[in-house]
Amino acid sequence: KHKFWETQPVGQFKDLGDSSLPEGPIEQPTPLSEVKQEPFNLPTPYEWITCNMDSDEMCNEVYALLTNNYVEDDESMFRFNYSKEFLLWALRPPGYYRSWHIGVRVKSSKKLVAFITGVPAKIRVRDTVIVMAEVNFLCVHKKLRSKRLAPVMIKEVTRRVHLENIWQAAYTAGVVLPTPITTCQYWHRSLNPKKLIDVGFSRLGARMTMSRTIKLYKLPEQTVTLGFRKMEPHDIPAVTRLLRNYLKLFVVAPDFDEDDVEHWMLPKENVVDSYLVESPDTHEITDFCSFYTLPSSILGNQNHSTLKAAYSYYNVSTKTPWLQLMNDALIVAKKNGFDVFNALDVMHNETFLKELKFGPGDGKLHYYLYNYRLKNVLRPSELGLVLL
């Protein structure tokens, strides 16, 4: 069934119930001198490139490949449309390796036809912090699908990760592969219900009119939490403490230091938004919420070409009730022109999803580790990791 994945150091379906297998790395690191020095062979029409994302031209080519060929929903009504600024943010975190930004070109025409990336991240699994690669943006041009290019790309990124003496990876996919550490549900909160219905993202409920639907999803104009404001650079130490303390609650979670928080959490226009609650009396930072901007192209609609979606990122509540904190996040997202606010059922998200009128979507997201076995599948609420 999985001719490629059966050969890889990942949890296999046949081992799913087997609690005699130990938790931890599936295979041991080899000496770097034993890591293959040359790239894997591609079919002769193609060649590897390392993408220099600092170059505007390269960035434009990657953007165009993904805009036209990246992830769609099951009915091909929407396609992720990561912006160039977003890609630069996602691909150049602290300590990133340029060699992990991998493209495939047609030799004759130089056209970019495939892409895969990794970025380094410290991820804790139970008590162990492991330097991993987060692998994302795997994409093969629509005209070159089902030619087994993806396994070669995965082997090549693995090789380049190994060359940096890193032996584990984390990744997500909408498809089931051997084997998920957990499976999460996407939830959606309508902010602009009329547009969502017009473009087929959502449907008018039974016995609902458009005006009743608009009223149902109406939000206050202003946030209600005293001390709720945008995160600023001077907040980095306090936010890092708050996040680190919160993420201890989860079985798998990133191990963020201040440099990571600066990169991943500091607000960046049209990329990531972060808000916090500063206690009006003590000036303590007690709560935090964040979301990233990921529009989708609307495929074949006369009236609208993009859906502006916010994706829940990392949230922490210690004083402000979850419902109030996340309702304020919805209010600022609405004010900033988002059509929908999406979230997974990870961390404590289940405590607010239903009450804040999120509804389950038709998509699931499976989380995976490469070369690290867990004894049991996790519940989504045991996962403290959000990938882009």
63 binds, among ligand EN5, ligand NHW, none (CB under 5 to 8 A by kind): none
| Residues near ligand NHW, by CB under 6 A | 2-5, 69-71, 133, 135-140, 145-151, 154, 157-158, 161, 167-169, 171-173, 175, 177, 370-371
Q: How far is the CB of 185 from ligand NHW (least distance, A)?
A: 17
CA 365 to chain centre: 10
Least distance CB 70 / ligand NHW (angstroms): 5
**If binding is defined by CB under 6 A, does position 387 make contact with ligand EN5?**
yes
According to the binding rule CB under 6 A, does residue 67 interact with ligand EN5?
no
The radius of gyration of the chain from alpha carbons, rounded to an integer in Å, stands at 21
Q: DSSP assignment of 248-281, as one string?
A: TTSSEEE---HHHHHHHHS-BTTTEEEEEEE-TT
Report how far residue 58's alpha carbon sits from residue 98's, in angstroms, rounded to the nearest whole number. Answer: 13
What gap in Å lies between CA 34 and CA 351, rounded to an integer?
A: 49
Report if residue 39 touches ligand EN5, rule: CB under 6 A. Answer: no
Min dist CB 385 to ligand EN5, Å, is 11
CB 380 within 8 A of CB 183: yes
Place of tokens 């989860």: 250
Selection from ligand EN5, ligand NHW, none that 167 binds (CB < 5 to 8 A by kind) is ligand NHW
The span from the CA of 20 to the CA of 17, in Å, is 9
DSSP-assigned beta bridge partners for residue 344: 186
| Minimum separation from the CB atom of position 139 to ligand EN5 (A) | 11
Task: Find which of ligand EN5, ligand NHW, none residue 206 binds, CB within 5 to 8 Å per kind.
Answer: none
- Is the CB of 65 or the CB of 285 nearer to ligand EN5? 65
Residue with tokens 């995965």: 154
Tell whether the torsion through CA atoms of 106, 294, 187 and 216 is positive or negative. Answer: negative
Length of the chain: 388
Active site residue 88: no
Binding-residue pattern over the window 131 to 170 for ligand EN5, x denoting contact by CB under 6 A:
-----x----------------------------------
Positions marked catalytic: 388
Where does this chain bind ligand EN5 (CB under 6 A)? Answer: 71, 73-75, 77, 136, 172-174, 186, 188, 190, 201-202, 359, 361-363, 365, 387-388
